[in-house]
Structure formats: C-alpha cells, structure tokens
Chain A
Amino acid sequence: MEQNRECNSMDNCEVPSKKVIEFKAPVYEQRYYFVKNLVNRHGLRKIADLGFGDATLLWMLKYHRCVQYLVGVDIAARPFEWGGGRLSPGVGGYIIPRELDLTITLYRGSAVQKDSRLCGFDLITCIELTEHLDSEDLAKFPEVVFGYFSPGMVVISTPNSEFNPLFPASTFRDPDHRFEWNRTQFQTWALDVAKLYNYSVEFTGVGDPPAGAERVGYCTQIGVFQKNIAKATESSISEPEEHAPEEHVYEVVYTTSYPSLQQSKYFRLTLSSESVKAIGLMKSRFLRGLRKREGDRVVPLGSCTPQFGLTEAQRAEIEQSPKPYSVGEKFYVPLERLIIYPKVDHLVAGSMEKLRTILAEGLRLNGDQSAVQVELVDYQTQHLFDEHLISPVLES
C-alpha cells in the first residue's frame, strides 16, 4: 500500500545539519503560498488537498473569501485531532461571519482510492505526495486523480533531485520517499498524464537555487495541470455524476460548516448588529445635540450623522434622508436613512424590503414599519434597588 506523507509541512528537505542553504521563507511555506496565490488568482471555490498532513494548507486556504468547499484526504487522518482545532470557525467566525458558506471536511483515505465525493472540484493539490507512492500506486494515481476525480486544475509538487547535491546529505530528502525525480523525469511523467487525460500542464517551482547554481532549478518542482476547456464544457459538470455511481470509501473524520451571510440566521445577526451600531451612533448624537418638538415628535436640529467612518459624499446623502426622531421614550430611525449607511446598504444590496423584513425579525419596528424603534435612554442599573426605582441616565 502506498503511504501518503504524514505531514506535508514537515518534510525535512530544509534540515541540513550544516546550514548550507537558507531560503528566505521556508520552502514548505513557499509551496503553500504558491497554492494560495493560485486559488486567489482564479477565485477557486472547491478545493481538495490530498495528503493534507497537519492541515496547514487547508487552514491557510480557509481564509479565502472565494473558497466554499475544502476537503482534505489523508491516509493517516484521525477523528480526534481536529475537533475544535484551527479549522473550526471559532468565536470570530460567528461574530463576523463570512460572506459565503464554507464547509471543511476531512477524510481518511488514500489518493489511489476512488471516492465520488472528490469529483467535480476546481482544484486538487498533491503537495509533496507523489514521491511517497510506490510504483504500483504511482501507476494508479493518474487514473484516480485525473481520470476519476477529474478536477478543473491539479497542482503536483515534488522534490527536484537535481537540487539535492546542494544539500549535505546525499540520499533522499525523506526516508519515506520512494523516488526523487529530476526535472526531465517529472516533466515526462506529467506530460504523459496530461496528454492521456486531456489536461495541459505548465511547470514551475519554488525554492530558488543559490546564486551560481541556477542550472539546478527550483528546490521543489511544480506542475500545474489545467483541464482542457473544450472538453470540459461537455464533461466537467455532468460527467462525474453520470459515469460515477456514488462511491464512498473514505471515512469522514471531521467536518464543519462556517456561519456565513448566506445563512439567514447569521445574515440577520450581522444586519441587526450593523444597524444597532449605526443607530447607537445616531442616538448619542441626537441626545447630545439640540432638538425641538414637532407635534408629538422630538426632532434633532443638528446633524445626527457620525463624522467618522463615512466619506463626505456618504454623509451628504445621509443628511438628505429622513431624520431620526423620538416620541416619548422611544427613538426612531427611518429605514430610508438606515439603508444609506454603507455597511447596511452592502448587506441588503439596496433592498428596502429586505432590510425591513429582516430587521423585523430581531428588532422592533414602528407601526407603519418605516423606522426602527429603540429605547431613547439606557436605564442604569441600580445595584440597590429594583425595577420601580431605576432612573434615567439623563436627568433634565
């Protein structure tokens, strides 16, 4: 059986006992940043990392706004180690939800096993994976990854053996490596695979060679495979489901889904939170500034728009909208005003109806649903007394 590498961040190619070569950033980090940049540049949504090891790459990718599905597969994955770890949304993820959903799932399984849940991805990465495969598995690998999973892109990175003489040790970079290819070997293999499965491939790498040794090439060689579009249009979306019956051989060891603005609960929470913040600022200006009575309403004489965090133009626009007012002990902010606040506007994309419906779920609106109603003054607690004894902060 092949062995996926245990931890993709932990290959020891940069651990010479004598420090012969020092890379500016560790090469493993450069590899991850290579993938990160690729994901960012193409706005990739659905990504799988085969042999995810300690999940560092997945963790780095989870921050991308465009990413919505992250999957890791590793032969050595264990259920226990992931719960509550750095892949989980944490408190921050709930307070400031992502724009788009994100689901992270980790499987225990091998890169030469077919599992239909890995089909239809935008990108599959195999970072320092292939060199751990024995010849039998290496032979199966292209059929599984390119033929069966058939993602839009594949990134394969592997050591460049031409670089090895620069290291003090003369053997492989890791005792578990079955082989280390030179550039020709890798490129020949890659081109064959690409041709067979209708991908095009470009070669690059990370870990620049030191000055004077440029001829050896990068420390890590990388092949970026792209599915040929002509073929893809007819096959990519429908094909996997058609020809691949559901086949679940991988075992789920961890899964989590992130709160996002696509989920009504978190959208509501975020919208009301932004609204409450804006209303709070208006209210404190209202209370500080001069105001006059107009019928049963008290209206501000001055501006109720915060000076901070808004552009001139935004402020001017807000100033022209209906002003907040108070009636009795309640303070009202017209939705027409609220919706001009950039963050609110952004969330509801200009839809008054949306603002109204959603705010009504968490906050209180006035009778004709044209304004949000909040308490005008915050009542202070009186540690001594009970409810009937509380008194307003503002004493006239």
Chain B
Amino acid sequence: MSHRTVLFQGLSPSRSSPSGQQCQAEPGPEPEAEPMVGRPPNPRHLEPPRHLEPPRHYTEPEEAQLVATLQATSVKERSRFGGIFRDHVVDTRQYLDHVRESTAGTQGRPVKLFTNHFRVTSRPQQVTYKYNIDYMPDIEDGKVRTELLLQHKALIGKCHIFDGSSLLLPHKLLSPKMELVSLLKKQVVKVTIEFTSELMPTSPDCLRYYNILFRRILKMMELEQVGRNYYNKREATEFSDHNLVIWPGYVTSILEYETSITLCADVNHKLVRMQTAYDLISALCDGFPAKQDLQEQVAKQLVGSIVSTVFNNKTYRVDDINWEETPRTTFKTSDGAEITFVEYYKTRYDQVVTELNQPLLISKGKWKKSQRDTPQEPVLLVPQLCNLTGLTDDLRKNYRVMRDLALHMRLDPEKRQHELQKLMNAIQTNKEVQQELQLWDLKFDASFLSFSGRILKEVRIFQGRRVFDSHPQFADWSKETRSGPLLNVKSLDHWLILYPTGNYRAASFFLQSLRRVTPTMGISMREAKILEVSDTVQSYTTALENHVSSKTQMVICVLSSEKKDLYDSIKQYLCVSCPIPSQCVIARTLDKPQTLMTIVTKLAQQMNCKMGGALWKVDTGLQNTMFIGIDCFHDIVHRRKSIAGFVSSINQELTQWFSQCLFQESGQELVNGLKACLEAALKLWCKHNLFLPQAIIVYRDGVGDGQLQALLDHEVPQIESSLKSVYPKDSGVKLTFIVVKKRINTRFFVESEGRLRNPLPGTVIDVEVTKRQWYDFFIVSQSVKDGTVTPTHYNVIHDTVRFTPDRIQCLTYRLCHMYYNLPGVTRVPAPCHYAHKLAYLVGQSIHQEPHHSLASRLFYL
C-alpha cells in the first residue's frame, strides 16, 4: 500500500496484508492527475512517470482499485476488524467545544442523497456476556482456535460469536471460569473460558461481534472467502483472450454512525489469473535464452508478487528465486524424513510436478509488521503449483486488458445499487441466514439509507486578470486556463532538450508547438540547446554533465519508450546530483498531430510550475495561515524505507509550496522528522511573509486504519510542541489537524429521472453516515465520467482555529482546486496531492532526498 503507510508501525499491526492492495471493486475513476484507462481524452498529466515504471511497485488510488490482488488472510480473526474499530471508538470531538452542538453545516443547496448503507433496524436489546478464551499452549491459527473451542459446543450453545480470542454469548455460563480440555491432533490443549464483562446492547464492542457474525453469513451464502472479502465464484466473468477471470464479491462492515447502526456494503472484484508462475517462467525462458538475462527477467517479474498455491490456497510473497534447486531437491519433513518436492506433492496432494527442471520460488513468509523482527523460515515453492495473482506490468500496460477490466469492474451507480440490492435480497430470503440472524434478533433495512446533503457553490478561479468558475458538472477549467496568460510565468531562457537518435521529429514537433502555445500563456522563450543522445542511461547523463550549467533552468528529455531505469537515472541526476527542474516526455506522445497542441500546452504549464511559476489561484478566505499536506509512500516490493511527503505553503496565495521528504525506517515513527520539517517550513514562510503564520492547517493523508489514536497521541502533540519551541510564549498560534481518507467504501448517489447517478462535485455530507464522536464530513469533490465517484472523508481531530463546519468544508473544497497538474478538482486538497506526488517520485525513482535547492518548486509534478 503506497499511500496508506502506517506511520506508527510499532503500534499497530492491523494492516498486515503483504499485498496490501485492497482490491476495491471499483476503479473509482476520479479525474485526478492520473487518468484511468479508457477515459475520454483528457491530457491532464503531461509528464508521465507512470509510463515509466512497473506499476506493481505501487498502488495509485485508481490503480489499486483495478488491481485485484490476493490478500493474505490475517492469521487470527480477532485482528481483522481491529483497525476500524479502534478508530471508531476514539472520541476526538470531546475536545472540540466549538462543535459540541453540531458538526453539520448549512451552506449550499440541499440535495437528497442515497448511500450504500442499510440501516440495522433491530438488534439485541439484552445484555450479552463476553468471555475471554485462553489456550494452553497458545495456538496461533484462528481456525484451530475456533475448532478447539467448538469441541465444547454443547456447553456454549448454538448461539455464539467467537472472534478468535473472545466469545460473545446471549446467556451466562454456569460458572464464570471454566477450564476445559480440547484435543488437537495428539496434543492436549487447555481451553480456559473466563467471564470478562457484560456488554450493554449499546456497547461498541457488540458491533465487532455482529461483523463477525455477518461474515459467517456471507460464508453461508456460498461466497468464497479470499483474504478479507467474499466472492461469488458462480458469477465469474471470463476474459479468455487474457486468461483472466473476475469474481464479483462484497466488502461489508457494520458500524455505528450519527444516529443509527448501519451495514455498509460495497461491490468488490477479485481478479484471478489463469497462469502459474511456471507458465511465466517458461515464457521468459523462450524470450531470454541467455541464463543471466533469464534470471534477471524472472526475478524482475516475480519478486514482490503474490502467488497462491494451487492445492491449498495459501498466499505467499515471492522474495527470491532459487535457481540452484529444482523440485527434485529433497527437504526434511516435520517427522525428519528426507523427501523430494515431487514426492511430497504427489503423496500429500496427488499433484504431479511434470517439469523437473524448474527453479524454486523462495518466500520469506508473510510480511507482517508486527513480526518483522522475528526471522522466519523461508518457504520453497514449486512454480508449477503456484498461481499468479494480481496484474503484471505487461497486463497493466496492455490497453485492451485494462479497457476490458475497467468496463467490467467499473460499476455506475445504477449497476452498483442493483448488485447490492441483490445481496440484500439474498440475505432476506435465505432461510439459514434468517435463522442465524433471528438468534441475535438482527434485522436490516432492505433499501439504501437516504438523507439530505448539500452542494457547495462553484469555486472561483483567478488567473491573472481573468476570473472564471469551475464547471458545475465536470469540475474542470482546462479550456479557460489555456486561453490566457498564466498567473505567474517563468521565461525559458536557458534550457536543454535531449532526444534519442531517431526521434528528432518528435523533438522538433515539440519545439514548434511550444513556440505556438507559449505566447498565449505569456511565457517568453529563447532558443533551446538541442542535443542528440543515444538511447542509454550513460548517454543521457554524459550529455547532461557536459551541457548543464548553473544557468540552466529546465531540461527536457524526450525518451524513446517507457524505460523505468532511464527515467529513474535522469530524475536521480537532476533531482539530487545536479538539481535542475526537468521534464520527461515519451516520443510517441508527441507523434499525434491531432492532440499535439493540447499536450504541449499542458507540458508548458507543467514546466512553468516546475520552474516556480503558478497557473491560477483561488480565494481561501484565510489570511496568515500555513497549509500543510502529508502523504506517504510505502514500497512493498523492495521493502525499502517508507517515505512521507511533507508539503507546506510558502505564500499567502498558496501558489508556492515547500516540499520536504521524510525517510522512515521500518518501525520508526514519523515524529522526529516531523519536527524538523515543520520548523523548516515555518522558517521559510516567515522569510517570505516576514512574520510567522497565525494558524497552521494540516491535511494528513496516508493514515492506515487503527492509527487515529496514535495521531492524537503522537503527531498532533509533536506538532504542537514544535510550534511552542518556534513561537514566542502566548503567541496564540492555532492548529487544525485533519485526517484525509480516500479509501473508503461509502458511496453517495442522487436520484434523477428515476435513476441513481453520481452526486455533483462539491457535494458535502455531514449527517447520518458521519460519526457522533468525530468532527467529520465527506466531500465529493471530483467529477467522474464512468463508474461511481468515491467521496473523500475528512476528520478534524484537532482544531484550535475553531472552524465552523461550513468554513472548514468550504476551505477544504477550495483547496481541491489548487493542484496545478490538473485544471480541475482533485479528490484531496492540493497539499495532500503534492505530498503524494513527491513521496511517490522519491520512493519510486530517486530513493534519496532531493536537493534542497529544488524544495520550493514543484519539481516533482
């Protein structure tokens, strides 16, 4: 998970899936910087780093949703809901006096909304009893724990919910503490059932048990559990051409919101690849006859990917390939016998390993944050018996695959409702399910929850002397922005263009077009120095070394194709060793006359921003306030350090941003780095404005489930204490800290002409599905053409500015209009998105701290 890094890794092992990629159903097609496949022409993003990297190394919000990867099941059921539940019981509102009465705003035009939540209309009204279950010796496996406990089901009764470590019963057991003996294989296991507490019907802990019960119900409905979610294999869709199958499924949660408890259900898809690791290796064998090339390629394609074993459906992350050994290698079984892999799989699983010369895959075991320090026995796997999961780079780059998948997985509001209604109907009509629900007196509403939201006014964009509003439906101003001078232009006086041999045409097209589009924007440019290079890293770097001077303002590199190593080397050189803003562009993208102008216009704007210019601004209505955005990148493939981007505003108009990076060792907290970043940010703000800001507003993205308390306990106090150390006593500096969440399952819909549709950009929701103990709200800020829009959740956890709901909602929405790589509204406030881009570039390509001289420019756009 790239952008949901847990910053307090030591504290919470809650999100431990190695793939981390929640296979969210829906490629929520937000018009963010990175457009989705199959989207209408919208050259939103000219420099294409994504062209250049193997995308399995990261999860972009949109990509992640398309990429359905097997998720590792957490070992113990009890840890599954931990994260969300831990967050949901944190009462952050208790300290926020100014919203004691209400966290709902009033501004904007009311609109009737629907959401994919079903109200729980009935639930146990009696006290229930919670028992703690202990095992002697301790048992790790959740299933075994359940099995051992259920050996005493006569005692426990039919009606029970077990989460792996505690048991919820509707009745009291005869004795508060019982020691029972269960048998596991040849071992006696002492099971102690001890009464811990009575749960009131309103206790939030009850909800956790209802969720476990609900998962059991999904199981009963013959949904196949893969990782955390449940899939319907009977409704699989085949993509024969691509050897892919998609299973539809659901992700559900029962939680308490403002006025009621609801079941939130969303559609989810599982991508199944009809390919084993051996298929992949043999295809590569054919393409790379040289042994060394082959090994390199196989490692490149397999290492870091998740495979699932054919025979018992366990998932493993491939950490290495063992070329020395084959399935004929022997190993010691638990009883000490030497046996070959071939014999082992034959006797145990009746699986015939036909290819005796394949290498073996090495997995160092599951990647669990909590266990990272304990060395694990590596596991050897036979490629022929390992299915590949998730998408490969090749698949992801394959236009047809992505188009077909997107078409299938992207559900519009109507289809989404239809699917969810189907689930609800099935629940209501399944006899067994109803019996089980009746035991607990649980009932659900049959249709979507409905309530009123508000649509905020369009935001006014100021670009020099020109003023325009963002389009009410498409949340876009690309036409307006390119038809006049930019807000703040940088002239191109000393600049270089490098192009690889054979791509002169592309380079000259680019130059000609640039000459045509820059006058309208107000950019003046002198002749560029044009250099031909050969298509190698060495050639590019040598040319740069020889021709870059202290005066060089911008380097443009035309690349012949998407080569990550070339892109990375150029970026490393120009971001670290020789800090100059740079723009890479792939020759092919300059080849199409019909879109050339649009693309070059976009490139010119992007280059202008990288050099420190500005495109437009919006009025936030706040003075003397510094905005900070934080997001994280987490390299799950190489298990490198996590990187947090820390981006802070420099000027009052929010057109200049100061970008810093934090490298975070695994298990280390962000706290110390935060202090240094904040101090540097304040210093620069002060230098620019001649005084310190009166308020600091932090938008914190990249927070994993279960981290809320940690933010309250560590990050917020750290920022406060840093402020104390910088500001004079009684300065009265204010701080607002907002947690931003993009990956949520809640969706909103409006009804018009009898159909459900996406709400308009600027729709704010602060009732019903927000939480009583939080100062939170949702904004649908972006517009999507296909599929269902994903709202963004904001949770104000600290607020000494004392924002009213109207003001903070309006401010947040306005900040979504400030991201310069997109003349449109983004899903998160601009500082967050800048932080994301920065962390991503550093994590993916540069791997070191960018040179400080670039920090006050948006060099990473």
Contact = CB atoms under 8 A, between A and B. Distances in A.
Nearest to B589: A384
Contact of A10 (B39, B184, B400): B184
Interface stretch (A145-153, A164-172, A226-234, A302-310): A302-310
Contacts of B594: 388
A10 B185 contact: yes
Contacts of B336: 24
Interface in B561-593: 562, 588-589, 591-592
Contacts of B223: 84
A354 to B, nearest CB: 16
A189 interface: no
Contacts, number: 198
Given A92-B310, A375-B400, A309 B185 contact: no
A297 interface: no
Contacts of B348: 60, 63
Interface in A232-260: none
A52 to B, nearest CB: 13
A25 B335 contact: yes
Contacts of A91: 70, 224, 226, 270, 272, 308, 313, 387
Interface stretch (A110-118, A268-276, A317-325): A268-276
A209 B394 CA distance: 59
Given A91-B387, A381-B402, A284 B283 contact: yes
Contacts of A11: 183
Interface string A60-74: 100111000000000
A205 B39 CA distance: 68
Q: Which of A24, A63, A64, A288 has the most CB of B within 10 A?
A: A63
Given A7-B183, A25-B335, A383 B35 contact: yes
Contact of A307 (B45, B289, B335, B402): B289
Contact of A28 (B39, B46, B186): B186
B225 A391 contact: no
A15 B186 contact: yes
B512 interface: no
Nearest to A79: B432
Contact of B185 (A28, A306, A308, A385): A28
Contacts of B34: 383
A28 B287 CA distance: 49
A218 B697 CA distance: 77
Contacts of A382: 51, 399, 588-589
Contacts of B276: 96
Contact of B335 (A24, A94, A381): A24
A375 B400 CA distance: 10
B350 interface: yes
B38 interface: yes
Contacts of B146: 81
B285 A307 contact: yes
Contact of A63 (B147, B289, B309, B349): B349
A92 B313 contact: yes
A14 interface: yes
B268 to A, nearest CB: 15
Given A381-B397, A386-B42, A84 B219 contact: yes
Nearest to A285: B286
Nearest to A375: B400
Contacts of B45: 383-384
A225 to B, nearest CB: 25
A188 interface: no
Nearest to A36: B347
Interface string B133-155: 00000000001001100110100
Majority DSSP secondary structure for residues of A touching B: loop
Contacts of A378: 394, 397-400
A284 B285 contact: no
B109 interface: no
Contacts of A28: 185-186
Interface in A86-110: 86, 88, 90-92, 94-96
Interface string B302-314: 0000001111110
Interface residues of A, number: 70
Interface string B86-126: 00000000000000000000000000000000000000000
A362 interface: yes
Nearest to B143: A85
A105 to B, nearest CB: 14
A362 B647 CA distance: 51
Interface string B389-412: 000001011111010000000000
A276 B240 contact: yes
Q: Which of B51, B436, B588 has the most CB of A within 10 A?
A: B588
A63 B351 contact: yes
A277 to B, nearest CB: 6
A211 interface: no
Nearest to A282: B286
Interface in B320-354: 335-337, 348-351
B222 to A, nearest CB: 7
A58 interface: no
Contacts of B42: 386
Interface in B161-188: 182-188
Interface in B402-458: 402, 432, 436
B216 interface: yes
B245 interface: yes
A374 interface: yes
B275 interface: yes
A83 B222 contact: yes
Given A79-B432, A276-B243, A14 B286 contact: no
28 contacts: A12-B188, A15-B186, A25-B335, A78-B150, A80-B219, A80-B220, A80-B436, A83-B219, A84-B230, A92-B312, A94-B236, A272-B240, A276-B240, A276-B242, A277-B283, A306-B282, A308-B286, A363-B241, A379-B398, A380-B398, A380-B399, A383-B45, A384-B45, A385-B589, A389-B589, A390-B399, A391-B588, A391-B591
Interface of B: 34-35, 37-46, 48, 50-51, 70, 143, 146-147, 150-151, 153, 182-188, 216, 219-220, 222-226, 230, 233, 236, 238, 240-243, 245, 270, 272-276, 279, 282-283, 285-287, 289, 308-313, 335-337, 348-351, 355, 387, 394, 396-400, 402, 432, 436, 562, 588-589, 591-592, 594-595, 599
- Minimum-distance CB pairs A-B, first 6: A10-B183, A90-B313, A362-B240, A83-B219, A379-B399, A14-B186
Interface of A: 6-7, 9-15, 24-28, 40, 54, 60, 63-65, 76, 78-81, 83-86, 88, 90-92, 94-96, 269-270, 272-273, 276-277, 280-281, 284-285, 288, 306-309, 362-363, 374-375, 378-391, 395
Given A83-B220, A90-B224, A387-B38, 15 more contacts: A10-B184, A13-B186, A15-B187, A80-B220, A83-B222, A92-B312, A94-B233, A273-B240, A280-B283, A307-B289, A378-B394, A378-B400, A384-B599, A386-B39, A386-B41
